[in-house]
Structure formats: C-alpha cells, structure tokens
C-alpha cells in the first residue's frame, strides 16, 4: 500500500535499501551503480528506485535531512513496504584527529542529544546501535573499498539536530570520548530499525573537519561517496 510519503506498493522496494540524504545522490546511485533501475516514488521530490546489483535486488531512496525526516521514511519502509535492511549513505563532519577529509566512518554506535530518543522510552538513555551483521560485513570489506588513499574507520557518531549551532565544548567532550564524526540521521535510523526488529547501518564520508573548518569541494562531495556505497553493497551481500 502507498503511504502518506511514499508512492509505492508492497514489493516495489527490495528488502535491502541504500539511503542517502540527497535525492540527486539517490538518482546517481540508481543510474551509475544499479542495473535496470526504475523510479518507484517521487513524492515531495524524494526519489526512490529499485534495480539490481550483481543479480541482487537493491533499492535506493533519499531520506531528506535530519532525524525527523529519516524517521518518517524508515518507519514507512519497515512497517508497510517490506524493507528489512536500510544502510544510510551520508556525510559527516570529522571530530577525531584520527579521521581525515575523504575518510569513511562505519557508525558502530550513535550518540544524540535529540529529544526524539527521550520520547521513545521515558527515563532511559537509549543506546543507538546498528546491526552487528551489517557493521561487521562493512568493516570486513573495507580493505578493498578505497583506491584513493582514504581510510575506513569504525566507531561512534554523534547525531545532531543542529547544523549551524556552534557548540565547541560539546564537540570537545565527544571527541575526548572517541566520537569520530557528527551527522544528523544515524541515531534515529538505528532506533527505528530496533522498533521494527529490522537492521540498519550508517556509513558516512567525512566532508569537513570541525576543529579546523577545512572542507571538501562540492565536486569531491559528489564523487567520494562511492566508497561508502561499495561498503554498503558489500554489507548487504555478505551479512
């Protein structure tokens, strides 16, 4: 059945879905990576496609920006449209001195200060964790994923509701406790997957460094995400 935000029927989506934030990035993955991809939904400009990769059905659909947006789409995909596994393919600001621009982070946990989590289980500081099977498969595939000198890291992310708010003390504290990067969706995706007994993972490319303000060019932003895509597809295949 079509949902309020996705114009698709049960069976239109594959059980495995890659989920970038940007609809144009979803379109590029469908056209450049998948075979015989067809457009399934374009409600509110959020594009979703299903095709094949190495003879395996795979879908790709944008999530928009932020935890409320990805919560809506992931909920409808898991609850009504047959999704079993969603891997977010996104970007992050680097926090740890261990990560460099162009590196990829497999999010093995996700901190957040969002009130969305507090509303799920009142009184509990919920731990946002991905599918172990997906995360371990992505990490195992990392050695063959990059040919441009960038590195793949596994570790915690911080999912923020604020893009422009400067919070140097908070970022310093997260960095001191081993957080690798800050982004805006992983924690919400992990919580939705847990709610529906499904699997999720976030694989993000570091596009800027919070401490220095150094950033990746817009052209590189469009090309560097392919390492994350390859890790996501390997995770689907091998987990």
Q: pLDDT above 70 covers what percent of the chain?
A: 97
Question: For position 166, what pLDDT does the model report?
Answer: 86
Question: For position 146, what pLDDT does the model report?
Answer: 54
- Contacts of residue 189, defined as CB under 8 A and 6 or more positions apart, other chains included, come to 19, 63, 70, 71, 74, 86, 88, 200, 202
What are the structural domain ranges in the chain?
Answer: 16-238
pTM: 0.95
Mean pLDDT across the chain: 94
DSSP of the chain, one letter per residue?
A: ---SS----TTSS-SEEEEES-HHHHHHHHHHTSEEEEEEE-GGG--EEEEEETTEEEEEE---SSHHHHHHHHHHHHHHS---EEEEEEEEEE-STT--TT-EEEEEEEEE--HHHHTTSTT----B---HHHHHHHHHTGGGT-SSS--EEEEEEEE-S-SS---HHHHHHHHHTT--EEESSHHHHHHHHHHTT-EEEEEEEEEEETTT--B--HHHHHHHTHHHHHHHHHHHHH-
8 A C-beta contact, residue 191 and residue 126: yes
Catalytic residue among 197, 208, 219, 220: 208
Say how many residues make up the chain.
239
Quick one: tokens of 145? 């994923």
- 208 as an active site residue: the answer is yes
Does domain 16-238 match CATH 3.40.718.10? no
List, for residues 94-148, the tens digit of each pLDDT value: 999 999 999 999 999 999 999 998 889 998 999 999 999 999 999 999 876 555 5
Confidence grade of residue 23 (pLDDT, cut at 50, 70, 90): very high
List, for residues 48-86, the tens digit of each pLDDT value: 999 999 999 999 999 999 999 999 999 999 999 999 999
Average pLDDT over residues 161-174: 93
- Contacts of residue 143, defined as CB under 8 A and 6 or more positions apart, other chains included, come to none
C-alpha triplet 22, 30, 186: angle, nearest 5°: 40
């Amino acid at each position: 059945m079509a949902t309020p935000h996705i114009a698709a029927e049960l069976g239109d989506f594959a059980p495995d879905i890659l989920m970038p934030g940007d609809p144009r990035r979803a379109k590029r993955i469908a056209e450049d990576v998948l075979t015989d991809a067809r457009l399934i939904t374009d409600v509110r400009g959020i594009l979703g496609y299903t095709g094949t990769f190495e003879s395996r059905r795979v879908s790709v659909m944008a999530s928009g920006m932020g935890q409320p947006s990805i919560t809506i789409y992931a909920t409808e995909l898991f609850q009504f449209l047959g999704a079993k596994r969603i891997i977010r393919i996104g970007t992050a600001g680097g926090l740890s001195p261990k990560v460099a621009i162009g590196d990829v982070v497999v999010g093995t946990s996700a901190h957040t200060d969002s009130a969305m989590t507090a509303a799920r289980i009142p009184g509990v500081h919920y731990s946002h964790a991905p599918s172990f099977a997906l995360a371990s498969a992505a990490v195992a595939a990392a050695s063959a994923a990059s040919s441009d000198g960038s590195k793949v890291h596994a570790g915690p992310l911080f999912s923020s509701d604020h893009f422009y708010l400067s919070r140097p003390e908070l970022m310093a504290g997260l960095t001191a406790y081993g957080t690798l990067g800050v982004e805006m969706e992983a924690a919400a995706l992990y919580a939705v997957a847990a709610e529906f007994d499904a699997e999720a993972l976030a694989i993000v490319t570091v596009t800027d460094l919070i401490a220095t303000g150094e950033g990746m060019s817009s052209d590189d932003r469009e090309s560097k995400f392919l390492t994350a895509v390859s890790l996501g597809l390997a995770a689907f295949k091998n987990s």
